[in-house]
Structure 1
Amino acid sequence: MLISIVIYNKKISDLTILKKIPYKNTDIFIYDNSKFPQEIPTFENVNIYYEHDENNSGVSLAYNQAYKKAKELNKILLLVLDQDSSFEFSFIEQYMKMYKEYKNDYIYAPIVCDENKTKIYSPAFLNNFVGKVQSFENFVYEQTYSLEGKSVINSGLMIPLKMFEKIGGYNEKLRLDFSDIYFIEKYKELNPKIVLVDVYLKHSISGDEGKDFAREFNRFRYYCSASKEIGNSLNTVVFWSPFRRLVRLTIKYKNIKFIKIFFEYYLKGKEL
């Protein structure tokens, strides 16, 4: 297995996952979207493969590069992680137990929750390309879990390389938003279910972090562009998701400039 971690403005030495690795010769591919490269520290039991991308090309390209590295190393499995996920190496034993049973016909995903185990972020409901968390209390675990009306996030996915190839990889035009949804929607064309690994991955989901007009204005361009791209690539219309965000941001900042962004980058399909 190759473990892939995508980082942005984060020191490799600060990645908690690298601190205590029990297995010798663990291979980890780090794709760094930060502006400047960094020196690679040494860790016990770890072989680090590092790739720097000063252009911040996003997670989809990073995962495709991780796949190429996994092929180069003759791996059969790729585990993708977010820099903020609290992945425990003890989880791998459970992943491999499931893989021995279900092999290459499935993608394997953890249960992703908040720190207090009140919300399930993944698998989450998906309606008109808008995600909605599940209640931890009402969540029903099933080993082969139906993705009808649902999706899962990238972090924690273990993907057999044979399945990665069948899907065709990630859409590199989707730098961040909808990257996981595209990949899973293509997977659903091959298999309507995933194997849900009975481990809990604690994860922080970025949400409303107060007011920052410049940041949210710029981010909305990417969101509208991604909404247009995923609609085109899946031969569908993704309207409600960007329109919903347009309304929220316009009200939040009492500024109609977001309408221009929506018109140019979503309705007219202007490229970034």
Structure 2
Amino acid sequence: MTQRLQGRTALVTGSTSNIGRAIATALAAEGAHVAVSGRDEDRGRAVVDAVRAAGGTADFVRADLDGSSAASRDLAERALDVLGGRVDVLVNNAGIFPLHSTADADDALVDRVLAVNVKAPFFLTQALVPSMAAAGGGVVINLGSWVARLALPSSPVYSSSKGAVETLTRAWSAELAPQNIRVNAISPGVVRDSEPDGHDTLEAIMAGTPAGATGRPEAIAAAAVYLASDDAAFVHGTVLDVDGGRTGVAVVAG
């Protein structure tokens, strides 16, 4: 590795599995001290152990980001504590994706999706910006989704929540740039951390795209490393599509 993040600190929410785990692992491999965060302590400890076994630095900070400002502030405070009083890179990755239709979405589902996917990253960013600014600046990376712009006939609340996150990315970029805080987002495509078993709906969604198959979490992690590093110093308010061409290229049935 190039150690592009040597001496920096990072908090990655929802980093006990899949994309979040890959991002935390990649940031640590590039030299960052990473706070791994999630609800499952056993999985979190496993990620930390793997990072340390590879020569990196990581600590686990348990959190259940329910959308309340109190939960986000609590995570911010504990992450600052384990990271030595500074969070240079915040990755707002934690999110939920319950399958639903408009007809069957009740109050509880709508409130839960918007709380976890929008309010939690909003309040966590709010809580960490002052310390970032006091330290001279930082980086915020949000996780959007391809379904925010290329509609599917299901899960409209989830899609709208990711649209909100991508809009927040641009708003925060404008608002926080004077404090030397860069804000960008990654919009993952169809990503899986295991091999498909025969005919698979996820693989079918990627049929006819330039990639022709689902992606791996490591592809999203590579984009996060780039956006966190000085290589992306001139990148502001951008939603980086890492989706195998799903949203940018016309899919023609074979």
Give me the TM-score of the superposition, normalised by structure 1.
Answer: 0.31
Greater per-residue strand proportion? 1
Greater per-residue helix proportion? 2
**Which has the larger Rg?**
1
Give me the TM-score of the superposition, normalised by structure 2.
Answer: 0.33
